[in-house]
Amino acid sequence: MNIKIEKLIKQFAKLPRVGTRAATRIVLSLLQDKTGKANALATSLTDATSTIHPCPVCGVLTDLEKCEYCCDASRKNGQLCVVRDLSDVWVLENSGVFHGRYHILGGTLSGVSGVTPADLNISNIASRIKEEEITEIIFALPNTVEGKTTQQYIISVIGENMGVTFSELASGVPLGGDLDYLDDGTLTLAFGGRKQL
Ligand SMILES: [Zn+2]
């Protein structure tokens, strides 16, 4: 096989959920396409990687100084939803169940994987509570030991005396399940029936 083609296939095969077979199909389709797909992809990738960065406030990827959610005044409603990843924000946005601000941790605490509080985006939650007049923190973390541990840690760090209540999504989130496995109806029920902690 041509060494350039082989290199491309190896690069695509490293992407999440893309094995060598799928990578081969993608590369062949790009190289044989006559409509400029490959160049358009390369241009979009270069543009995105040079301009997209995490929002310094919440961690959502954006090409603005602050993300669209942090800039949206109508979202300053006192609610802050804490999630693990950006994909969780997209799931919640698509469901239309939440219209407040987000906070992306970038993972969950894990003794096994060696993820400590310093590895996560936790330290500025307290200042956000003051600056954005947050009254409720809603945890939408995975229903796992790691998710619960992370939740408990954040509650212990922020403390009870900041004038903020804590809640978590109601049952309906499957044990160990990620938000993106939930249909909109289940997510709406889990959000509406959230439990105060
Ligand atoms: Zn933001």
User: Is the domain of 74 the same as that of 121?
Assistant: yes
CB atoms within 5 A of ion ligand 1 belong to 55, 57-58, 60, 67, 70
Per-residue pLDDT of 17-71, as tens digits, reads 999 999 999 999 999 999 999 999 999 999 999 999 999 999 999 999 999 999 9
User: Is the domain of 66 the same as that of 45?
Assistant: no
Tokens standing for 193? 């029936």
Q: Check which CATH number belongs to the domain holding 99 and give it.
A: 3.40.1360.10
Strand partners, 103: 82
**For the chain, how many structural domains are there in total?**
2
Q: For 115-151, give the secondary structure using H, E and C.
A: ECHHHCCCCCHHHHHHHCCCCEEEECCCCCHHHHHHH
- Domain of 154 in residue numbering reads as 54-196
CA separation, residue 133 to residues 43, 59, 101, 137, 163 (Å): 41, 19, 11, 11, 9
User: Is the domain of 123 the same as that of 81?
Assistant: yes
Cα 108 to averaged position of ligand 1 atoms, centre (Å): 19
What is the pTM for the complete model shown?
Answer: 0.84
β-pairing, 101-104 vs 79-83, is: parallel
Cα 40 to averaged position of ligand 1 atoms, centre (Å): 28
Residues 6 or more apart whose Cβ sits within 8 Å of residue 14: none
Count other Cβ atoms within 10 Å, centred on residue 20: 11
Q: State the DSSP code for 170.
A: P
Domain boundary residue, one of 35, 51, 67: 51
User: Is the domain of 124 the same as that of 153?
Assistant: yes
φ, ψ at 103 (rounded to 5°): -140, 115
Per-residue pLDDT of 82-113, as tens digits, reads 999 998 999 899 888 899 999 999 999 998 88
User: Is the domain of 122 the same as that of 192?
Assistant: yes
